[in-house]
């Protein structure tokens, strides 16, 4: 019997995992996206889009669809869906793995200030006018209206709507993965003297961190939200190994 695997996606890792599992004759893999971006990135396996209706809705979906294993490969700042996933698998009795990329850690030359959230990031910028590169979710970006003295270079996948009510802002629409050289150029072109971003981990968004290091710029990094404790893999290959182990133990039980 083909085992049904649901991947909660929205990240590069989710897509890579789906790519590596797509050709497997023993698996029936589906990716779930929240549907936040206007243009959905094509996935190598069938897709479902939209919320489930909380933990109960997800548990119901897992039962209705006969899902054999759930892998939460959502972004580390998407804390609610990760919480819901843990509750749902407990209720539905489905094996579960969280695929969580390790956090970035500072290297020689990095000038980081780690903050709890957007408010602390704004306070850390201080009163004097700065030229700031904002690489945050659209949800978090509007908070910066309370510090209108700064220039903002805002990068996002979809337009920030409405635009920030600040006198000086430039918007760049771009989806990762990003490269170190283009990011370095971007920072230079806009004479940026401070970067604000999330400690997302992974490779796709690391270029700005490298570019800031190269240019000696300070970075204000938002710490990750607390995520529920769960069996965790740090990479796509670890997640594939976990699935192989799951298959082996299922076979031993004669499933």
Give me the residues that bind ligand NAP (CB under 6 A), please: 8-11, 32-34, 36, 51-54, 57-58, 74-75, 77-81, 84, 137
- Biggest distance spanned by C-alpha atoms of the chain: 67
Taking the complex as a whole, the smallest distance from the CB of residue 214 to ligand NAP amounts, in Å, to 24
Write the DSSP string, 151-175: EEEEEESS--SSPPSSSSEEEEE--
The residue whose Cβ lies closest to ligand NAP is: 51
Please report how close the Cβ of residue 163 comes to ligand NAP at its closest, in angstroms: 20
Structure tokens at 3: 């085992």
- Using CA atoms, how far apart are residues 143 and 139, in angstroms rounded to an integer? 8
Considering only CA atoms, which of 53, 6, 32, 33 is closest in space to residue 157?
Answer: 33
C-beta closer to ligand NAP: residue 122 or 135: 135
Cα separations in angstroms, 86 against 82, 96, 136, 188 = 6, 8, 26, 43
**Beta carbon nearer to ligand NAP, 95 or 176:** 176
CB of 45 to ligand NAP, least distance (A): 14
**In the complex with ligand NAP, which residue's Cβ is closer, 43 or 74?**
74
- Smaller CB separation from ligand NAP, 6 or 192: 6
Can you tell me whether residue 232 is helix, strand or coil? strand
Under a CB-based contact definition with an 8 Å cutoff, are residues 223 and 199 in contact?
Answer: yes
**CB nearer ligand NAP, residue 36 or residue 131:** 36
**Strand positions, DSSP E, 1-59:** 3-8, 27-33, 47-49
Closest distance between ligand NAP and the C-beta of residue 10, in Å? 3
CB of 232 to ligand NAP, least distance (A): 16
Least Å distance, CB 157 to ligand NAP, is 8
**Residue closer to ligand NAP, measured from CB, 54 or 250:** 54
């Amino acid at each position: 019997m083909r085992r049904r695997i649901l991947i909660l996606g929205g990240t590069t890792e989710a897509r890579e995992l789906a790519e590596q599992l797509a050709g497997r004759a023993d698996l029936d893999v589906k990716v779930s996206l929240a549907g936040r971006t206007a243009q959905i990135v094509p996935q190598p396996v069938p897709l479902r889009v939209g919320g489930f209706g909380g933990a109960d809705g997800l548990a119901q979906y897992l039962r209705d669809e006969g899902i054999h294993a759930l892998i939460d490969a959502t972004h580390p700042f998407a804390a609610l869906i990760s919480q819901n996933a843990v509750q749902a698998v407990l209720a539905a009795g489905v094996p579960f793995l969280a695929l969580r990329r390790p956090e970035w850690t500072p290297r020689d030359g990095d000038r980081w200030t780690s903050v709890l959230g957007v408010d602390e990031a704004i306070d850390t910028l201080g009163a004097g006018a700065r030229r700031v590169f904002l690489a945050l979710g659209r949800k978090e970006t509007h908070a910066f209206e309370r510090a209108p003295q700064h220039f903002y270079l805002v990068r996002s996948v979809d337009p920030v709507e409405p635009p920030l009510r600040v006198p000086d802002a430039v918007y760049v629409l771009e989806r990762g993965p990003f490269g170190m050289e283009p990011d370095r150029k971007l920072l230079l072109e806009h004479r940026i003297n401070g970067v604000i971003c999330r400690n997302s981990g992974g490779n796709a968004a690391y270029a700005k961190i490298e570019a800031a290091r190269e240019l000696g710029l300070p970075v204000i990094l938002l710490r990750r939200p607390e995520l529920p404790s769960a069996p965790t893999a740090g990479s796509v290959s670890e997640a594939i190994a976990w699935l192989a182990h799951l298959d082996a133990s299922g076979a031993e039980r004669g499933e």
